[in-house]
């Protein structure tokens, strides 16, 4: 028997598999497709103050090893989400994490504050890596000073644990992560999507109206794994790895690199019950490798490097 439990310090998970924001809806959409109680955590679709329609279609473009998306973060708004969270919490005991978005810093703070007293919300994840934020000319995750300012403003206002989600589209992700940690972040999640484009050869033009879109899927796993490993070695708070995870072996790679937990994203779109399969694969792999608990092997590649 293996132990897949994870302790983030501020939140205990039955296993390290969390569904990523944007690919698992609000959780309720998957209730008939997977037992939600099997999951380590559920991150809800990104939320703003008010309802949003998102970008005009096309929104998704498939490549041979991943997908580009230009969805534009459509959503139901914070008030309606509160009702959804209540319904979801009645269906499962799995921790619920709200993904907080904002066009301006003030909106981030307002949305985070709105859910701070909700007993059904276990943590907040700040989506500071989305280019929809224009204050100061950059999205916060692309500048260490902007990151520090926003995270500190929110941490000064809320009591709930705050996970800061970072972008891979920066020169030095470690300095951004350190800035978030200094501002009071309880954990880091990374990475969000890589920027890419798609061109329609028949139409002789860009596929997306916004031209640039976010790339995710199996192709980004080695890139994400490298960035997670870098950040793990520069901060003292837990890191949650994201990027191209589709199997139990992928999960174990991120744990070996030092991550406490992972989020599965694009795989949910093609295999709604993937979380169950990945958990089973992880348990079987742990048993075959004689790993009794994940804590034994977290960051083991670094330990072995210096032995």
Q: Does pTM surpass 0.85?
A: yes
Cα–Cα distance, 70 to 122 (Å, whole number): 29
Do the beta carbons of residue 13 and residue 41 sit within 8 Å?
yes
The one catalytic residue in 101, 130, 139, 171 is: 130
Averaged over 88-95, what is the pLDDT?
Answer: 98
130 labelled catalytic: yes
Residues 255-303: pLDDT tens digits?
999 999 999 999 999 999 999 999 999 999 999 999 999 999 999 998 8
> What SS3 string covers 209-244?
CCCEEEEECHHHHHHHHHHHHHHHCCCCCCEEEECC
Averaged over 33-40, what is the pLDDT?
Answer: 98
Q: What is the mean pLDDT of the chain?
A: 95
Residue 141: predicted pLDDT = 84
Residue 1: predicted pLDDT = 87
In angstroms, what CA-CA distances link 82 with 128, 154, 155, 176? 21, 19, 21, 31
Residue 307: predicted pLDDT = 58
* Residue 134 confidence (pLDDT) above 80: no
Residues sharing a CB contact under 8 Å with residue 67, sequence separation 6 or more, in sequence order:
60, 61, 215, 216, 217, 266, 269
Residue 250: predicted pLDDT = 98
Entry field: residues in the chain = 307
Cα–Cα distance, 8 to 26 (Å, whole number): 23
Residues 144-182: pLDDT tens digits?
999 999 999 999 999 999 999 999 999 999 999 999 999
Do the beta carbons of residue 191 and residue 228 sit within 8 Å?
yes
Element (H, E) at 166: none
Residues 68-88: pLDDT tens digits?
999 999 999 999 999 999 999
Residue spans of the domains in the chain: they are 6-54+72-194+216-305
* Residue 105 confidence (pLDDT) above 80: yes
User: Does the structural domain 6-54+72-194+216-305 have CATH classification 3.50.50.60?
Assistant: no
């Amino acid at each position: 028997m293996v132990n897949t439990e994870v302790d983030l310090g501020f939140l205990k998970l039955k296993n390290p598999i969390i569904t990523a924001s944007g690919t698992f809806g609000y959780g309720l959409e998957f209730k008939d497709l997977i037992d939600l109680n099997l999951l380590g955590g559920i991150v809800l679709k990104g939320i703003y103050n008010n309802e949003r329609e998102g970008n005009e279609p096309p929104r998704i473009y498939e490549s041979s090893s991943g997908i580009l998306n230009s969805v534009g973060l459509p959503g139901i708004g914070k008030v309606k989400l509160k009702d959804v969270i209540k319904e979801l919490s009645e269906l499962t005991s799995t921790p619920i994490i709200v993904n907080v978005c904002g066009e301006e810093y003030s909106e981030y703070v307002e949305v985070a504050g709105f859910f701070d007293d909700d007993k059904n919300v276990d943590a907040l994840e700040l989506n500071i890596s989305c280019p929809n934020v224009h204050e100061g000319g950059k999205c916060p995750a692309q500048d260490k000073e902007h990151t520090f300012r926003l995270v500190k403003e929110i941490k000064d206002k809320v009591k709930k644990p705050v996970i800061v989600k970072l972008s891979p589209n920066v020169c030095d992700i470690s300095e951004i992560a350190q800035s978030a940690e200094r501002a009071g972040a309880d954990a880091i999640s990374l990475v969000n999507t890589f920027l890419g484009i798609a061109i329609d050869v028949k139409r002789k033009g860009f596929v997306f109206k916004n031209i640039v879109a976010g790339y995710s899927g199996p192709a980004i796993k080695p890139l994400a794994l490298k960035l997670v490993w870098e950040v793990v070695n520069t901060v003292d708070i837990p890191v949650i790895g994201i990027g191209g995870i589709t199997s139990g072996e992928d999960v174990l790679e991120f744990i070996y690199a030092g991550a406490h937990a992972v989020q599965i994203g694009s795989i949910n779109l093609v295999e709604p019950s993937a979380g169950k399969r990945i958990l089973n694969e992880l348990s079987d792999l742990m048993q075959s490798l004689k790993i009794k608990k994940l804590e034994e092997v977290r960051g083991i590649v670094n330990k072995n490097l210096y032995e």
